[in-house]
Each structure stands twice: as structure tokens, then as C-alpha cells.
Amino acid sequence: MTSVRQRPKSRCGPAGRPPTVGPMADRLDHPLGVAVIGPGFMGRLHARAARLHGARLIGVAGSTASRAQAAGRELGTAGFADPVALATHDDVDVVHICTPNDTHVPLATAALAAGKHVICEKPLATGAAEATALAEQARAAGLVGAVPFVYRFYPMVREARERIAAGALGRPHLIHGGYLQDWLLGSEDTNWRVDEARGGRSRAFADIGCHWCDLVEFVSGDRIAALAAQVHVAIPERRGVAVTTEDIALISFRTEAGAVGSAVISQVSAGHKNRLHFEVAGAGAALGFDQEAPDHLRLSDRDATHLLTRDPDRLTPAAARYSRLPPGHPQGYEDCLVAFVGDTYAAVRGAAVDGLPDFEHAARAVRLTEAVLASAAGGGAWVDVARTPQAA
Ligand code: SOE
């Protein structure tokens, strides 16, 4: 990552990269061989990000032979109709799994068993037991398992995390916000995510609510201890098919450190394309972030509100490291994915990387999802996240 203007060298770009150390460093001292399973919107982004980091794209797998061939032609690589053959291919070091949720467990299990590092789209599994087993499999094999909680990679998110850890707000007492989209607002709008058999029992929470929870836990350094939830199907039929997965989830929560909070999660909120926003408030000040204006952070005390701007010369080093462009040149979602993939590859090469979302974080997200479903099934009763009975 190189800035286009002269910047202090220690603050952005490759100089900020952790050094490559550890046992993997020698073994992987070559361009990483990468497999992308699933040629959809996310798979294409993963392929681009991999190449930006100098990886060799060994192949792309699609769900049919013709889709695999078409994706291979488009991405300039081999198309594989058999995803396991690609995931376990000798030349592959890292497998990117970008397929529907119900395929994550078998693909990730096979890739890890073949000694491959794995990046798997969220949710890692549709059940917490399987997600926990995958985290354990990766740990036991000494392989990197990473999950693209990409919003962690906005420079201003890192800035918020640094400032909160340094005590800028005092002890946080309230964490709130939401994640709103409108791409499923119409009764003709549908997708595999709507289908419980492919996407899992939860949809809005498992797809986007988990991002929100991961992000606020990452930024605050605190964890949701107990929650009470409601889920709601707003569009009962889509293209004539009954819907069982929620369009909306509402959660109230208490954290381990004693803060309280709430979030509104919806995929049917007109006018909101991808509005992930949160505020963390303490006795001294409050910090607010909005994914649709990600180059800014709102910092308020009782007297004034400041709009902090992404400027690598003024950010903490932990945030400046992810700032690739000068201020006023917007960075966005794809930059986050590129930074996430770069950090994952650094971890694959043996570096200790701060803030990499791994399979433990992925499994936590699935546990939170099960807590949401358990609470909602119990009429919104409070559920202790650590004690949520795992779904059969
Ligand atoms: C669709 O809701 C989606 O693409 C999610 O699956 C992603 O995780 C989110 O980052 C953007 O929206």
C-alpha cells in the first residue's frame, strides 16, 4: 500500500506492515497460491484483493461447469467445477470461501484438512457448534482462519478503537446504533440468503447484525454479555414463497464491563443502502461512526462536536497504517477488504497482526446469532450469551 503523496514513512503504507517472522516465513517465501471458491460479488472482490497483494490466482470455482468456465475466463484463471479439487490443489496456500452459507463448513473443513489457510465469508457456519469446531481445527493445525469483518479496516474505526482504549470517553456506559439496508424491501426481492436451507435460520442478524456486534466489540474492547431480542418478518412472501428468516432484528444488551446498548438491524429500511452506524458514549465524551461516511468520526463532549477527518498525518499510527490516500480522497469498502486480505496474508507468512478477525471471532458471531434466536423464541427474554444452548 503506497500513499500517492510524500508522507512520513513510518505512518502509512508498507513501512507500517508488521515484519514477517516465524516458522511460516521460509515455507511461504513465494507468491501465495490462492483459490477463490464462489465467483459472485464477493468472490470477484476477493480475487482482485488477492492479486493486489501479489498472490497467484490458481483458479476460481463455480457451482456448475459453465459458471466455473465463465468466471475463469473473466478472471483470467482456471475455472473449476469441483470446489474441493481446487481448495485442496497442491499449488494453493490460501482458500477464499465466498459461497452460500450452507457450504462453508464442508469447504473450510476440507481446506484445513489439506493444510490450507482459509478465509471464509461470514457466517462461518449456520450453527455455533460447527463454527467452534472449525476454529479449533484451524488452531490445532496451526493454520490461519480469517473471516472478513471488513469494517474493522476503516482507518477511522481504528482511530476510534485507539482513542477509546486511551480513555478518551471515560468508561463507556452506552453503545448504540444499527445496520440498515433496503435491498430486500420489495416482495419481488429475493436471494439465497432468504432461504433458511441455504442461509441458515437467521438472515438479517447473521448477514449484517453480526458485523455490527463484531465492530462495536472490536472498537469498545468490551463484549456483549447478555441480550434480549425480537425478530420480525416484514415481507411474509417473496415471489410467492413463504419467508421464515427475519427481515428485522432488534437487540438490547448489557456488556461484560457494565455498559448497556441497543441496535436496530434491518434489510427492509427504505433509503438505507448499507448504513452501519454506532456511537460509544462515556461520562466524558461520545464517539460516532457511520459506514456511509467512513472518512470521518464524530467526537462530542458537552460543549462541542468535532468532525475528525481521516488524515494520516494526524491519526494514531494504528489508524494511519490503513490510510492509503491523502485526506479528501475517499477510501471505501473495497479498501477495507484489500487491507483485510493483506493482513491475513501477513499472518499466513507468520506475522503477528493486530485486529485480524479470525475463526474465534467468527464463532463468537454465530454464538451471538444463536443467542438472538433463542431470546426471540422466548418472547424477548434476556439470554446470557455464554450460556445459550446450542441449536441441534
Ligand atoms: C449483503 O447484505 C451484504 O453484502 C453482506 O453480506 C455483507 O457482509 C455486507 O458487508 C454488505 O452487505
Residue 315, judged by CB atoms within 10 A of its CB (0-12, 13-18, 19+), counts as buried
pLDDT at 28: 73
The set of cell numbers assigned to 283 is 461520562
* Residue 24 clears pLDDT 50, i.e. is over it: no
Cβ 191 under 6 angstroms from ligand 1: no
What pLDDT was estimated at residue 390? 57
Which of 193, 274, 291, when mutated, tests ligand 1's pocket best, judged by the most ligand atoms within 8 Å of its CB?
Answer: 274
pLDDT digits (tens, 9 = 90+) for 38-68: 999 999 999 999 999 999 999 999 999 999 9
Nearest protein CA to atom 10 of ligand 1, as residue: 208
User: pLDDT tens, 213-269?
Assistant: 999 999 999 999 999 999 999 999 999 999 999 999 999 999 999 999 999 999 999
pTM score over 0.85: yes
Determine the straight-line distance between the first and last CA of the chain, rounded to whole angstroms: 45
Residue of the nearest CA to atom 1 in ligand 1? 207
Q: What does the pLDDT read at residue 15?
A: 29
- Across all residues in the chain, what is the average pLDDT? 93
pLDDT bucket at 392, cuts 50 / 70 / 90: very low
219: burial class by Cβ within 10 Å (0-12, 13-18, 19+)? buried
**pLDDT tier, 11 (very low <50, low <70, confident <90, very high otherwise):** very low
Q: Would you say residue 19 has pLDDT above 80?
A: no
Q: Is the CB of 208 under 6 A from ligand 1?
A: yes
pLDDT of residue 135: 98
Q: What is the pLDDT of residue 389?
A: 65
- Amino acid (one-letter) located at 34: V
% of residues, the chain, pLDDT over 70: 92
DSSP three-state, residue 287: strand
Band the pLDDT of 388: cuts 50, 70, 90: confident
Q: Is residue 89 exposed (0-12), middle (13-18) or buried (19+ Cβ within 10 Å)?
A: middle
